[in-house]
């Protein structure tokens, strides 16, 4: 539907036109872009497939085919078609589509090379072409969710000539093209291929007329006080200021997510939100130099705020005006802890002694010392920023303190920190988490005899290692989508490349594991140490998880039960890796909270 000041002007049933399959409304491929003339809309949908012919009652093996045109479809119904993995299982062959509102005609754009999956499209400055991100999908697709290291490029498709031109590096991972208001500059993000599944990124800018690209912001190895690097998955859809020189974007900066103003000509960065009490800022849009954003903190749900961007050079201090304010939630306080690993060679890299952080949420009610719930994040290349998380605030209101650990390898602390975890998973991340726990116990009013673990995915991997290392230390453990058996994931996960990269091993599409590599993965796996676990464990898994097979938890559950350890398995038939959805999230939280209350 298209609406204007006079009401609804157009209503088109796109699927009924039969030109394509399901429209992509979210995820890395999705877009909905106006042409400059506002007469055409650009979007992405699944490529249309011929519907299988319904079987006739007289179809028998060896019977003659009914019609010559059925020959191509014969036997095609159950052919395997690759998709883009976890959370993208219905995304296989995306196509670019253009809807002409004046003629009410719909066309699937031609000219996109066969080896590319297109997405994130926008119109070129003259409306005669389309700029899009193309992901290489040969020889097969690897999982794309939370993976910024997949080969992709920024392309221009000339609609008149049908010519497709690569605008970014040949061997890189580029995304988020954003055209300046004057149509002269194209901003985009670019990262490296392989290695960490998420990373610190370059901010690149292309001059449209000359097709020349420059690096505006480079990868940051070691963070400074002013700038820790770019880690955003995407740029805001509208990030340019009216002057077509400055842009605003949000990115993790250590344990915060801040809004940064980038001067693309001077290649300088100004942090617009540093030092403000809210720990997470997200830009919704920037139009006519009006910034619209949300801000939140661990004890404060998101508030809607606006600000006018001042002229260049006079941006600070920026005056934020609340539009819809959210009050602070009672019973919760928070602080950031800085943790410094010892220099004793815990990690053999030169980076080994760099500090990391943890967020501590504490209840204001009840008698201290409080029981502590320890939460290492998943990923592992992710971050717990200081945003509002209802489940964590709820645990505080139930009387628990909560420690969110950003161990080395987390986003927001420089590329060297991310790289330091490669080949040290199951060691450095586990030691860092335990170090954060020890520091919190020393410095805060916490009960060392009432410790629990609450984590998911790679965080659950860390938690299981902690249970095996110190069997008497933790009294309760609740895990979501746990990683427990690394070699078993080689054939079941949508990201088999990460299993190699995490151990510092090279990956290629035709890779077959060697016996010694499988042995090394098993030695790093919690399942190999499960005989030492004594702590009651709750396991929550989604039957449709493509990232970490639910059979990982099933294997763990069976071994724990056989050894007499209290264990419970919750199996969500429609759940994916994130166990998302209101009903599922509510059930998972309720069960985890009851488990922690029971054993702590």
**pLDDT of 347:** 46
C-alpha 327/C-alpha 224 separation (Å) is: 33
Mean pLDDT estimate for the chain: 94
Is it the case that residue 121 has pLDDT exceeding 70?
yes
The secondary structure of 370-420 as a DSSP string is EEEEEEE-SSSS----B---HHHHHHHHTT-EEEEEE-TT-TTS-HHHHHH
- Rounded Cα gap, residues 577 and 543, in angstroms: 9
Question: What does the alpha-carbon distance between residue 134 and residue 251 come to, in Å, rounded to a whole number?
Answer: 24
In whole angstroms, give the CA distance from residue 387 to residue 389.
Answer: 6
Please state the rounded mean pLDDT for residues 160-167: 96
For residue 180, what pLDDT is reported?
Answer: 98
Sign of CA dihedral 487, 491, 493, 495: positive
Query: Is CATH 1.10.1070.11 what the domain over 332-343+351-599 is classified as, yes or no?
Result: no
Residue 64: predicted pLDDT: 46
Q: Which of 5-19, 261-275, 409-423 has the lowest average pLDDT?
A: 5-19
Phi, psi angles (nearest 5°) of residue 410: -75, 155
295-324 confidence digits (pLDDT tens):
999 999 999 999 999 999 999 999 999 999
> Of 127, 180, 131, which Cα lies nearest the Cα of 31?
131
Tokens of 575: 């759940």
Range in 103-107, 149-153, 290-294, 497-501 the model is least confident about? 103-107
- Which of 117, 213, 545, 549 is an active site residue? 545
pLDDT value of position 73: 66
State which fold the 1-51+81-216 domain adopts.
Methylamine Dehydrogenase; Chain H (2.130.10)
Residue in 299, 377, 465, 577 annotated catalytic: 577
How far is residue 453's CA from residue 459's CA, in Å, rounded to a whole number? 10
DSSP 353: G
365 pLDDT more than 90: no
Q: What is the pLDDT of residue 50?
A: 78
Given a cut of 50, is residue 528 above it in pLDDT? yes
Phi, psi of 502 (to 5 degrees): -65, -25
Burial of 254: CB neighbours in 10 Å, binned 0-12, 13-18, 19+: buried
- Do residues 255 and 435 make contact, with C-beta atoms less than 8 angstroms apart? no
DSSP character string of 232-265:
-SS--SS-B-TTSSEEEEEEEETTEEEEEEEETT
**Is 15's pLDDT higher than 90?**
no
Residues 186, 206: contact at Cβ < 8 Å?
A: yes
Contacts of 547 (CB under 8 A, 6+ apart): 85, 86, 143, 145, 457, 481, 493, 494, 495, 577
Per-residue pLDDT at 104: 86
545 in catalytic set: yes
In the 3-class helix/strand/coil scheme, how is 203-226 assigned residue by residue? Answer: EEEEECCCCEEEEEECCCCCCCCC
Q: Tell me the mean pLDDT in the region 130-159.
A: 98
Report the distance separating Cα 185 and Cα 177, nearest Å: 10
Summarize the confidence of residues 383-393 as an average pLDDT. Answer: 98
Given this model, what pLDDT does residue 118 score? 98
Non-local (6+) Cβ contacts of 304 within 8 A are: 292, 293, 294, 322, 323, 324
User: What is the 8-class DSSP label of residue 113?
Assistant: -
* Backbone φ and ψ of 145, nearest 5°: -60, 130
State the pLDDT at residue 544: 98
Q: Give per-residue pLDDT as tens, 403-418.
A: 999 999 999 999 999 9
Tokens (6 digits) for 15: 């699927």
At 74 the pLDDT is 74
Q: Which strand (E) or helix (H) includes residue 570? A: strand 567-572
pLDDT value at position 557? 98
* Spatial separation of the C-alpha atoms in residues 462 and 379, rounded to whole Å: 11
Model pLDDT, residue 192? 96
Catalytic residue among 362, 457, 484, 502: 457
Q: For the whole prediction, is pTM greater than 0.85?
A: yes
DSSP structure class, residue 459: H
- pLDDT score for 53: 66
CA distances from 329 to 282, 297, 389 (A): 20, 10, 11
pLDDT at 7 over 80: yes
pLDDT digits (tens, 9 = 90+) for 19-73: 999 999 999 999 999 999 999 999 999 999 877 666 655 555 544 444 444 545 6
Q: What is the pLDDT of residue 446?
A: 98
Q: For residue 327, give both structure tokens.
A: 């009050």
| pLDDT value, residue 367 | 86
Spatial separation of the C-alpha atoms in residues 471 and 207, rounded to whole Å: 59
At residue 559 the predicted structure's pLDDT band, cuts being 50, 70 and 90, is very high
Specify the length of the chain in residues.
600
**What's the average model confidence in pLDDT over 479-501?**
97
457 is catalytic: yes
β-pairing, 321-324 with 163-166? Answer: unpaired
With helix as H, strand as E and coil as C, how does 53-64 read?
CCCCCCCCCCCC
DSSP 8-state assignment for residue 143: P
| Residues ≥6 apart with Cβ < 8 Å to 528 | 522
Closest CA to 441 of 339, 299, 589, 310: 339
């Amino acid at each position: 539907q298209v609406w204007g000041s006079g009401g609804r002007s157009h209503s088109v049933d796109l699927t009924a036109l039969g030109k394509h399959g399901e429209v992509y409304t979210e995820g890395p491929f999705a877009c909905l872009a106006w042409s400059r003339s506002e007469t055409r809309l650009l979007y992405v949908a699944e490529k249309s497939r011929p519907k299988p012919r319904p079987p006739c009652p007289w179809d028998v093996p060896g019977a003659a085919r009914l019609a010559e045109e059925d020959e191509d479809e014969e036997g095609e119904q159950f052919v395997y078609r690759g998709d883009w993995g976890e959370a993208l299982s219905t995304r296989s062959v995306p196509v670019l589509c253009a809807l002409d509102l004046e003629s009410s005609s719909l066309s699937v754009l031609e000219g996109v090379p066969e080896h590319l999956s297109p997405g994130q499209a926008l119109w070129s400055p003259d409306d005669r072409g389309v700029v899009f991100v193309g992901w290489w999908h040969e020889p097969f697709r690897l999982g794309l969710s939370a993976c910024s290291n997949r080969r992709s490029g920024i392309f221009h498709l000339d609609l008149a000539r049908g010519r497709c031109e690569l605008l970014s590096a040949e061997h890189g991972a580029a995304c988020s093209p954003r055209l300046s208001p004057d149509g002269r500059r194209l901003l985009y993000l670019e990262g490296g291929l392989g290695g960490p599944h998420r990373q610190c990124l370059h901010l690149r800018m292309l001059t449209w007329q000359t097709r020349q690209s420059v690096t505006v912001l480079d990868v940051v190895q070691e963070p400074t006080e002013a700038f820790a690097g770019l880690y955003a998955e995407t740029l805001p859809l509208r990030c340019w200021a009216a002057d077509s020189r400055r842009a605003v974007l949000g990115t993790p900066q250590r344990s915060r997510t801040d809004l940064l103003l980038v001067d693309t000509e001077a290649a300088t960065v100004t942090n617009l939100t540093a030092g403000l009490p809210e720990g997470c800022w997200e830009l919704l849009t920037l139009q006519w130099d009006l910034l619209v954003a949300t801000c939140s903190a661990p004890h404060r749900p998101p508030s809607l705020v606006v600000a006018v961007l001042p002229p260049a050079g006079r941006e600070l201090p920026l005056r934020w005006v609340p539009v819809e304010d959210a009050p602070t939630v009672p019973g919760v306080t928070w602080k950031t802890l800085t943790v410094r690993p010892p220099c004793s060679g815990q990690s053999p890299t030169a980076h080994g002694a760099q500090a990391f952080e943890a967020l501590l949420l504490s209840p204001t009610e009840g008698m201290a010392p409080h029981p502590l719930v320890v939460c290492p994040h998943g990923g592992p290349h992710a971050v717990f920023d200081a945003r509002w998380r209802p489940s964590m605030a709820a645990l505080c209101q139930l009387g628990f303190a909560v420690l969110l650990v950003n161990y080395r390898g987390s986003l927001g602390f420089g590329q060297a920190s991310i790289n330091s975890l490669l080949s040290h998973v199951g060691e450095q991340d586990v030691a860092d988490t335990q170090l954060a726990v020890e520091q919190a116990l020393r410095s805060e009013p916490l009960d060392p005899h009432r410790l629990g673990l609450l984590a998911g995915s790679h965080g659950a991997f860390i938690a299981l290692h902690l249970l095996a290392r110190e069997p008497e230390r933790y009294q309760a453990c609740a895990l979501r989508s746990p990683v427990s058996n690394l070699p078993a994931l080689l054939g079941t996960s949508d990201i088999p490349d990460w299993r190699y990269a995490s151990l510092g091993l090279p990956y290629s599409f035709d890779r077959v594991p060697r016996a010694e590599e499988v042995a090394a993965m098993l030695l790093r796996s919690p399942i190999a140490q499960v005989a030492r676990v004594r702590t009651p464990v709750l396991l929550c898994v989604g039957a449709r998880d493509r990232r970490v097979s639910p059979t990982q938890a099933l294997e763990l559950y069976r071994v724990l039960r056989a050894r007499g350890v209290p264990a419970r398995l919750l199996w969500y038939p429609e759940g994916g890796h994130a166990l998302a959805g209101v009903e599922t999230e509510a059930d998972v939280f309720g069960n985890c909270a009851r488990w922690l209350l029971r054993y702590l």
